[in-house]
Amino acid sequence: MRRSRSASPRAKSHEGTTMKKQINPSIKAHLLRSALILLSLLAICAIPFTLAQRNAAIPAARIYPPQNASPSTSAGIAHQPSYQGDTTRRSDVPFLKPQAALVPERPAVCTLNGTLGTAPPGGATGTIATRLSRPGSPTVICGVPPAFPGNTDTGPFIYNVHYITNTGGSPLCTAVILHVVTEGIAGTNMQCSAFMAPFQAGDITNPTRYLGDAGVSTGNPPVNTVFQLTVPAFTTIALVVFNVNVSPAGQGTIYQLISDQDIFCQQGSPTPTATGTPSPSGTPSPTPSPTCTPLTSPTPGACTTYEAESCNNTLTGSAFVLNCPTCSGGEKVGYVGSNSGTLQFNIIAVAPGNYTMTICYLNGDATRYAYLSVNGGAGTSVSFPSTGSFQTVGSIQRTVTLNTGSNTLKFYNPIVGNWAPDFDRIQFNCAPSYLGNISTRSFVQTGDNVMIGGFVVQGTTSFKRVIIRAIGPELAQHGVPNPMADPTLELHNANGALIASNDNWQTTIIGGIITSDQRQQIQNSGLAPGDPLESAIIADLPPGNYTAIVRGVNNTTGVALVEAYDLNPETDCSPAT
C-alpha cells in the first residue's frame, strides 16, 4: 500500500529511495544543468540592483560640510568646487533615493528674480574641467519663493557642482551669478540651479531636491543669470551648472560661477521649512504701490542729500537697489557699469554755477572707476579708491556745473567687465562733521612726569595727514604763567616705537617717517607755530593709535600745549542719526 496516507515514516523514506532509483540518468543531468543556469541568472540580475543601491546612497545627515574647504574671505561662507561633471557622467542613468535618508530642509529663499546682463568683475574662466569661483557683488532683494524649473529637458546633462557652506550660526543670504563667456557648440544653453547637498546626477530632474534658480538660462553669451537664496546655519547647498539642451553639448563652454558672500538679507525673509512653498489661502489683497514723493527745490545754501536708491532716480540695465545696513537710508545701488547698469541722479539746483558734490560710495575691491555725465554731456572718468569692504562707506568730492532747475548726474562705465562702486548717496553744501583738532595743556616736568597726549587716526583712506605741535613760548601772550621756554616733540606709534621727533619747527630732524625737510609744508599748512623754539611735525599716518610726548630742552620745566590737527578731513558720509 505505497500511496496509503497512514504509511509509516519508515515506509515513506523507503518510498523516496525507491523513486530516486527509478529516475533516468539523462533526466537527472538535465535537472542539474537547469539549476545551474537558474543560479547564474539570479546572480547576474543582482549586480545592477546592488550597484544602483550603492550609487543612490545618501548620508543620513542634515549637514553636509565640504572636505578640505578653503577659508572664506567673508564671514559665514565656505566654498568648495566639486569637479564631478564631464562628458562621461550624465543624468540619463536614473539614481534611486532611499526613502529613509535624511536630507537638508528646504532653506528660506531671499530671491529668485532672474536678470540678464553682462558679467560682474573678477573671477576666472575655464573649460568644462576648470570651474572657479570668487566673491562678487550682491544682487537683488529678498522674499520670492522658488518654483521648479520648467525649461530643462530629461537629459543627458553635462554638469558641474559647487558646494557652498554657511559656517555661521544664523541664516545667510547668498547671491549666485552664473556668467557664460562663450558656447562650445551652437545651441548650448547653460543654467545654474541650487539643490540640496549632497548632489547626485539624477537630482537635476528631481523637484524634491531642487531649491531654486534665476528662472532663466544664459541664452546667447556673453550673459549672466543672477539669483539669491538663504543658506540656513551650518548647512551646505549644491550649486549645479548644467546644459539645458537635450544634446550633450557644451564641452567647449567657458563660464565662471560667482557666489557673493558679503551681503545682508532683508528682515522678514520666509522661515526655513521642509514642506516647500505653502499654498495661498483665499485671494490675496493687492498691495498698493508706494507713492514717490516728487523732488522739491532745496533751500539755498542748505545741506541737500540725494539717496541713490530714491524712486526719483533712473536705474537701467543691471543696476539694482541693495540692502545696506551701514548706508544712510539702509540701501544702496550696485551693479553699475560693465556697459550695462547705469545710475542717474535727478536733482534740482536753485541757481546756475559750480557746485561741490560729495559722492558717498562703497568699494571692497581695489580702485574702481566710473564715468560721470552731467546733463547728458560727455562723461568724465572718476576714480573711487577702496573703502575696505562693500559695507564701509567712503567719500570723494567733485565739482559739477549745474543749471537752474532740473539736472541729471549719470554714473556708468562702458567697458565690459569694469564695474563702478556701489553708491550710497550724493550731497551738496554739507559741512563735514569731524574733529578738526585735539589739544591738552599741562605743567611739564622731567622723567616720568613729562606731558603725554594720545590720539587715534581713523578713516576710509590709507593714510591721514596730520600736524602735531608742541607750543610753549607763545602761551605767555595769552596770560599763561610759567610757559615752557623750549619744548621738544616726539611721536610714537601704537607699539611705543619712536617714529618722528622735532626740536624747533624750522629745523627738520630727518628719521623715521620723516624723509625730507618739512619747513615749507608746515608754513603752507597755515598752522606753523608762532615761535621758532616751538616744535611741529607733519606726518602721513595709517589708521591706529599714536602718542605725542613733550619734554623741555635740558630737562627744563614749564607749561606747554600739545596739539594734533587733521589736515585732510573727510566729508562725513556716515549714516544720519
**Within this chain, do residues 120 and 229 fall inside the same structural domain, yes or no?**
yes
237 and 319 co-located in one domain: no
Which structural domain range is residue 418 located in? 304-428
The reply to whether 236 and 107 lie within a common domain is yes
Q: Which of 142, 144, 108 is nearest to 273 (CA)?
A: 108
Q: Rounded to whole angstroms, how far apart are CA atoms 181 and 119?
A: 8
- CB burial readout 76-102, b (16+ within 10 A) else e: bbbbbbbeebeeeebbeeeeebeeeee
- Is 242 in the same domain as 106? yes
Per DSSP bridges, beta strands 422-428 and 405-412 are: unpaired
Over residues 158-182, mean pLDDT: 68
Does the structure show a pLDDT above 80 at 546? Answer: yes
Same domain, 83 and 227: yes
Residue type for position 502 = N
How far is 142 from 323, CA to CA, in rounded Å? 9
User: Which pLDDT band, with edges at 50, 70 and 90, does 117 fall under?
Assistant: very low
Res. 529 pLDDT band, cuts 50 70 90: very high
- Claim to verify: residue 345 and residue 373 sit in the same structural domain: yes
Please check whether residue 48 lies inside any domain of the structure.
no
Q: Cα angle vertex 314, ends 310, 319, to 5°? A: 90
Q: Check if the beta carbon of residue 380 is closer than 8 Å to that of residue 314.
A: no
The CA-atom distances, in angstroms, between 529 and each of 445, 474, 533 are 22, 8, 9
Do residues 469 and 509 both lie within one domain?
A: yes
Q: What's the pLDDT at 176?
A: 74
Question: 183 with 316, same domain?
Answer: no
Q: Is residue 268 in some structural domain?
A: no
Spatial separation of the C-alpha atoms in residues 421 and 433, rounded to whole Å: 24
Report pLDDT for 157.
57
395 occurs within a structural domain:
yes
Whether 208 and 106 share a structural domain:
yes
Question: Could you tell me how many residues make up the chain?
Answer: 577
DSSP string of 226-294, one letter each residue: EEEEEEPTTEEEEEEEEE-SSS---TT-EEEEEEE-S--PPTTPPPP-TT-SPPP-SPPPPPPPPPPPP
Rounded mean pLDDT of 328-334? 86
Out of 227, 260, 293, pick the residue that ends a domain: 260
In this prediction, residue 531 has a pLDDT band, given cuts at 50, 70 and 90, of: very high
Distance CA 462, CA 458 (A): 9
Domain boundary among 428, 460, 489: 428
Quote the number of domains for the chain.
3
Mean pLDDT of 251-273: 42
Cα separation of 556 and 471, whole Å? 14
Q: Is residue 450 one of the residues assigned to a domain?
A: yes
Q: Are 55 and 202 within 8 A, CB to CB? A: no
Q: pTM for this structure?
A: 0.38
CB atoms closer than 10 angstroms to residue 556: 16
pLDDT attached to residue 253: 56
CATH number of the domain that residue 418 is part of: 2.60.120.260
β-strand partners of 427: 305, 358
Whether the pLDDT of residue 141 is over 70: the answer is: no
Q: Which of 111-115, 154-158, 160-164, 181-185 has the highest mean pLDDT?
A: 160-164
Kindly report whether the peptide bond that precedes residue 222 is cis, defined as omega within 30 degrees of 0: yes
